Chains A and B, each alone.
Chain A
Amino acid sequence: MKAGYDPLTGQPLVAPLARNHDLRLYFVAMCGTVWALAIVAQLFHLQVLRHRFYLKEAQHQSDRTITVRARRGTIMDRNERPFAISVDAPSIYADPSAIRDPRETTRALSRALGYSAAEQKDLLALLRQDRSFVWIKRQVDPAVARAVRDLRLEGIGFETESRRYYPKRDLLSPVLGYVGLDSQGMAGLEYALDEDLKGREARVTVRLDAKRRPMGEVDKPPTEGRKVTLTIDERIQHVTEVALGEAIRDTGSISGTAVVLDPRTGEVLAMSSLPSFNPNRFAAFPEKDRVNRAIADSYEPGSIFKIVTAATALKEGVVSPLEVIDCGNGFIEIAGTRINDHAVFSSLTFQDVIAKSSDIGVVRVAQRLGTEKFYGAMKAFGFGAKTGLGLPGETSGLLRNPKSWSALSLASMSFGQEIGVTAIQMASAAAVIANGGYWMRPYIVKRVEEPSGELVREYAPVAERKVIEPETADRVMGLLREVVISGTGRKARVEGFEVAGKTGTAQKIDASGRYSMIDHVASFVGFVPASRPALVVLVSLDTPKGDRNEGGDVAAPLFARIANEAVRLLAIPPDDPTRNIRLVTYSPETVAKTTFAAERPREAPVPNDDPRIMPDLRGFSLREAALMAARHGLSVEIRGSGVVARQTPLPGTPLEPGMSCALELSPSSRAATGAGSSSRSDR
């Protein structure tokens, strides 16, 4: 130990460094060594003893099986027009554990997403969660996603999800239903066919980084849901919804339904329930408007049900059309209860009973039938049971067993009370008359295909049972024609076509439980063309207002409007023989030699805007004709100059993809085919 002075500062050197102090240094050194040994021991433990475990953990967490959700299949109409498609939409998620500054991230995100202060607060809470994956916003617009991507925020990721999109918005929505955020069908066909539409989820093993993003490219197997083709014709659906919507508005009705069926097959061509909703944002609409009333609402049909009574009576031979029925001067008393007719008739032929819709007349005929036969017939016509057309939420309506009928029941049912039916049941029952006696199971899905085109299922018409003889059907049809010619359904006429049908004005039961004198359901069910029905159209309006609001006043014109447009869209030949057109495909050679002028219909019934049907190009200039042909996807062969004189195929011929047409032009043809002018006026 030396004491001394520092040569630099002149201060005394703190000398005696006690041995004690050296011991303390050793103690510190020992502590450091022990600590180092502990670290090395742990290193040995992790890297040597447990190496394999951690190596497996490392691989396990980066190799992960992820689920690649399939793209939901499309839903098409019968002509391959899309009702529901799937589009790619980016979704934004966050890994809160990788976000260092949640507040700053929230600020930046909120700016890009246009969040309000309240939403910002929620977002901040979300980002502060103790999780490694949270959705920020799903299925955003690509522009928004790009804006967020450009922020280059740490811990924010993107995933492409497929989003359901309904290009036609409200059209057919109660039938189509809608899907949730995870593309799961939640109502309607989307729900019923979820298994087909959603496709297989593919499981792929990929290397993921900590943000659950696949490292490098992932080979996603092409998974797509099946394509569903409906029997619905989008054009008819469109005109039906437009017409029904306007009728509801004009009459101030609460709601309305319309069903268009092909009675020969049971195919549903249109099914409308209004008010409806936009499935793209279904949550914004009330639950009641998302319901498909045509299958889910059961109501008392009223007089249109007389079709069933009449058919059964004619089938059983208890009445003939021209037989005179005592209509009791407007009332009848059964089991002490008086039933009043809507008008006072003393006596009418059975034909007029139906045409003028006399309740008492129908009751009298039904009484001849008796309980069992009438009950059996109603069941045969499909009442009291679901039609099974393949939509969820269908009700079977209400048809009580005769055991629980009162003395009044048979009479009430004969004119459509004490029985609950759905629109689809009623339309299917009416189709029995239209197709000559068969109850065809209605269906709405035509086929289901794999995205590759491979057929999975196809639905064919099912004639479930024979209900009446063709002759009986013809006689009922005769009665129903009379309804439109001279009875309550005169406003159902469609120009150029014979129409048959029946009006209905069904009183609603009011709050007191009695039949209301004011509120009713106005309906009409009809066939067109009556001679060989191609369409059954049922329309009903719930509680129409106004002075003249009975079935014949509001529902019959609605029927007429829908039927009129539908026959034109389907190019159904009119009953009027002067309007007949021939739908024949000629080979070009034959056509070249044929003169058409004489066969030309006076008025072109062929719509020039239907891409599925050959338009009438005659009378058009070469430029105009070529343009129209191109719009129909046709390649054109041209001979001559001037205006189109002859064309192959003929107007109205159904077109196949890739077809070509031959046009022969001549300078004088405009004069020769004067009818061409009517075509031009269509433009």
Chain B
Amino acid sequence: MAKRLATDRVLLGVAVILFGAGLLMLWSASQPFSESGARVNGEAIMVRQLFWAVLGVAVMLISLRFDYRILRSRYVAFSILGLAMLLLVGALASPSVNETNRWIRLGGVSFQPSEFAKLAIVIFLASEFERRARSLQTFRDLLAPAFSVGVVALLVYLEPDFGSALHIALVASALAFLAGVPFKLFVAGAAVVLPVVALGVASASYRLERIFAFLDPWAQRQGGGYQLIQSVIAVGSGGPLGRGFMKGEQKTSFLPYPYSDFIFGVVGEELGFIGAFVVVGLFLVFLWRGLRTAQRAPDMFGRLLAAGLSMTIVSQAFINMSVVLGLSPTKGIPLPFFSAGGTSLVLCLLSVGLVLNVSQHTD
């Protein structure tokens, strides 16, 4: 019988450390933009992030207070998925910012539906796969959930946010794998999905350029390879011990978006190999504790929920780091806990809360 246990203190501790470190690094990374003349205001970024942090902590505490199992019901799961789709459509209908439709603006607050979509997909799939746990043997069985994921991913792709769409697909596949979908279906699925992904890459010239820039960044030092080279230089110049907190130099100008997508470059430069290693390690511990929670969960829903949410956060972190370190082509994916962005932070803390919630239950 399921017992109510104390929350996983290691998981909580890791999350708190990442959360605190993320805020500190953002403070450092946004520092150069506090000076006049920049259109991006570092102080405003920091103030906004702190506001969202407070909200996020509140949301996390609330999410610890109820039984996660209320989310398993079909109605709740479908409602959340529907809400996610609605918000995505809303974003597409909103006036574009920088030629993209990734945000919904309400007053001074902007909300990023794709972040919510990731959470919604995990909850929905956990619920769906639990109900179908015994019959996930053929494509037919997977058709309905696959279709739902496909619609969400397509909407995200249309924003356009190819990186997040891929991320959603990755998490969904991992969840299907954990739910027991046979290997052969993955092999067959890959044969169908990979050409579609390749087509998605080739359909936008900037994505192709990013691939080329990734393959040989130094060939276009001032062009497509610029961001990659700058982030690699930032990390490399940090050395084993780093330049010291707040003492990074690349963030002042050369490193693009040091406060958002490339904040790991600031981590690498200021905290060095030691610091970056610790951050990677913390995320790995987070994954480990998340999967441990999943393993101990009293039911399939809790299992998939805990695993899915921790995988979402950690895989997003690893994708981001891979981009910054030049292991993967550039995509606009933020580093959880670190990058500026309210939606990401709040939903990240909510996810942590849910995983911790699951950890309170075991069989």
- Which residues in A have some Cβ–Cβ distance to B below 8 Å? 2, 4, 6-9, 11, 13-14, 17-18, 20-22, 24-25, 27-29, 32-33, 35-36, 38-40, 42-44, 46-48, 50-51, 53-55, 57-58, 61-62, 97-98, 100-101, 103-104, 130-132, 152-154, 209-211, 215
Contact = CB atoms under 8 A, between A and B. Distances in A.
B237 A54 contact: yes
Interface stretch (B18-26, B143-151, B280-288, B342-350): B280-288
A51 B241 CA distance: 11
Given A6-B299, A14-B130, A24-B177, A58 B72 contact: no
B295 A25 contact: yes
B177 A39 contact: no
Interface in B168-226: 174, 177-178, 180, 220, 222-224, 226
Given A43-B280, A58-B233, A210-B253, A28 B240 contact: no
B38 A40 contact: no
B241 to A, nearest CB: 9
Contacts of A58: 233-234, 236-237, 249-250, 254
Contact of A47 (B70, B174, B272): B272
B178 A14 contact: no
B100 to A, nearest CB: 10
B276 interface: yes
Contacts of B238: 47, 51
Kindly name the residue among B230, B237, B294, B311 whose own CB sees the greatest number of chain A CB atoms within 10 A: B237
B178 A24 contact: yes
Contact of B98 (A14, A36, A101): A101
A614 B277 CA distance: 86
6 tightest Cβ-Cβ pairs between the two chains A and B: A54-B236, A209-B253, A47-B273, A14-B300, A58-B237, A210-B253
A130 B223 contact: yes
Interface stretch (B48-56, B103-111, B153-161, B321-329): B321-329
Nearest to A38: B327
Nearest to B98: A101
Given A54-B233, A55-B239, 16 more contacts: A7-B1, A9-B72, A9-B73, A13-B298, A17-B300, A25-B294, A28-B177, A35-B318, A36-B280, A36-B318, A47-B268, A51-B237, A51-B239, A131-B222, A154-B38, A209-B253
A10 to B, nearest CB: 11
Nearest to B229: A57
A287 to B, nearest CB: 38
A4 B299 CA distance: 10
A14 B318 contact: no
Interface string B44-84: 00000000000000000000000101101100000000000
B85 interface: no
A43 B276 contact: yes
Given A42-B327, A132-B222, A210-B253, A28 B236 contact: no
B12 interface: no
A52 to B, nearest CB: 8
A11 B233 CA distance: 56
Nearest to A131: B222
Interface residues of B, number: 71
B266 to A, nearest CB: 13
B91 interface: no
Nearest to B269: A58
Nearest to B254: A210
Nearest to A20: B180
A212 B268 CA distance: 24
A132 B70 CA distance: 54
B322 A39 contact: yes
A20 B99 CA distance: 46
A6 B223 CA distance: 59
A51 B1 CA distance: 55
A40 to B, nearest CB: 6
Contacts of B138: none
Nearest to B326: A42
B288 A48 contact: no
A38 B298 CA distance: 33
B253 A43 contact: no
7 contacts: A6-B299, A29-B288, A32-B315, A40-B280, A43-B268, A58-B234, A58-B249
Interface string B278-321: 00110110011001001100111101000100010011001001
B318 A43 contact: no
A152 to B, nearest CB: 6
B133 to A, nearest CB: 5
Contacts of A100: 98
A46 B299 contact: no
Kindly name the residue among A18, A43, A46 whose own CB sees the greatest number of chain B CB atoms within 10 A: A43
Contacts of B94: none
A46 B235 contact: yes
Contacts of A154: 38-40
A23 to B, nearest CB: 10
A335 B168 CA distance: 105
A355 B279 CA distance: 105
Given A38-B327, A58-B249, A101-B98, A28 B291 contact: yes
Given A38-B327, A130-B220, A131-B223, A47 B67 contact: no
Contacts of A35: 315, 318, 322
Contacts of A210: 230, 253-254
Given A8-B67, A209-B252, A25 B273 contact: no
Interface in B15-36: none
Given A28-B177, A51-B239, A130-B223, A39 B299 contact: no
Given A35-B318, A36-B283, A53-B236, A28 B222 contact: no
B119 interface: no
Nearest to A153: B39
A222 B134 CA distance: 83
B167 to A, nearest CB: 14
B177 A32 contact: no
A39 B318 contact: yes
A154 B301 CA distance: 48
B235 A132 contact: no
A61 B287 CA distance: 38
B64 to A, nearest CB: 16
Contacts of B180: 18, 20-21, 24
B235 A152 contact: no
Contact of B276 (A6, A47, A51): A47
Contacts of A18: 180
Contacts of A20: 180
A454 B133 CA distance: 94
B273 A43 contact: yes
Contacts of B232: 46, 54
A36 B69 CA distance: 31
Contacts of A8: 67, 69-70
Contacts of A11: 72
